[in-house]
A and B are shown apart, each in its own frame.
Chain A
């Protein structure tokens, strides 16, 4: 269309000049097309239709990851020399806002599809069989760090409390108002720990005192800290970041 509008003017140009102008026009049109795509891209995610498709793709990816998940495949363990020191602090708030949980009055609440729902005190939890792992924590942001965590195998704990391991989800509520949930297959993975120690010391507040879920088969944000309640359910529980758009399964 533009070519036609310029037609009569171009008649007086040499073929070489016309080619040049056409080239420039083509370049400009291509560039503006790209700019338009970028411009709309900025707000595209907000569009309801687009967001609905992206959310559906994320649910589809949950299914693919559950299918890819091999309950026997172990995350690599590292030697002590590979440990990242200092281990980075990470939460949805700054390090100066870390919650202090009182050890004396603490008790772990249980609910949902669990047979024995009596709360657990810290000494009771510490008395459970303990195991250690040195694994890589991978953050959704892309960085990773290696640390050593110790605690009870989560599958052992779920067995002790008579959890319905045929249920779909295990949910966590935390003292810092964080919450998240995982699939039962990952909960029963041998490297999934209720961790009470970091680097052989009782978990300091910034790493999640009194306990965190250490799950090396998932991204960092699926490793809740300061856990105060655990529940088993078949109703999708979501999570703090998951409800804002992070992929729910987020397996490694």
Chain B
């Protein structure tokens, strides 16, 4: 006779603020990246262009309109998320501590397909590192974007990045970091699909 399973324990992992800002951010990043690729194509930094079909806006002027409209969505939504994360203590409780040894251990396990997901209510070290990294990357992305947008009015900000041309490079590299982390994030969600509904409902089965 098999043992009687106790009822599944549903645990609230993502408060409404986090779920809402997550999806608004996903939309904002999607618009910013696809319109940004078209803007990049108008004067490529490197010897390649992004495929037209993957870009948003139709032409440089259209892409700029999308980019400078969605930047408000990205910035305001990001500020709400950051304020909430710091004030509520969520950043501290979910993201700390992070140790290099822990990250390397988890990444090693993940690459060998042995990353444990027995308790989805706690972020493992690799997750913590990735989530902190994408927050920082988006902060750098916004800061370098402001420097490119206002290299005279915000010249102190541009100067930190080596002036206008430096800020362009920082903006491009930060975009690459964000796209890379998002790609890994999406792959991980596909590999552990039961995490997906939790970003909509907020709840997850702890086992």
State the A residues within 8 Å of B (CB). 22-23, 26-27, 30, 37-38, 41-42, 44-46, 53-55, 57-58, 61, 65, 68-70, 73-76, 136, 138-144, 216-217, 241, 244-247, 251-252
Contact = CB atoms under 8 A, between A and B. Distances in A.
Contact of B65 (A37, A54, A144): A54
Given A26-B193, A26-B196, A70-B153, A45 B42 contact: no
B118 interface: no
B144 interface: no
Contacts, number: 97
Interface in B31-62: 34, 39-40, 42-43, 45, 53-54, 56-58, 60-62
Interface of B: 30, 34, 39-40, 42-43, 45, 53-54, 56-58, 60-62, 64-66, 68-69, 72, 150-153, 155, 163-165, 168, 186, 190-191, 193, 196
Interface SS of chain B: helix, strand, loop or mixed?
Answer: helix
Nearest to B68: A61
Contact of B153 (A44, A57, A143, A251): A251
A143 B43 CA distance: 6
Contacts of A68: 150, 153
- Closest 10 CB pairs between A and B? A245-B61, A57-B69, A142-B43, A141-B42, A141-B43, A54-B65, A252-B152, A45-B62, A143-B43, A41-B56
Contact of B72 (A23, A57, A69): A57
Given A45-B65, A75-B155, 6 more contacts: A54-B62, A144-B165, A245-B64, A246-B64, A247-B68, A252-B150
B61 A241 contact: yes
Contact of B164 (A42, A46, A69, A144): A144
Nearest to A26: B193
A41 B165 CA distance: 29
B168 A38 contact: no
A22 B40 CA distance: 38
Given A30-B186, A217-B152, A246-B64, A53 B43 contact: no
A137 B135 CA distance: 33
Given A75-B152, A144-B165, A27 B65 contact: no
B190 A27 contact: yes
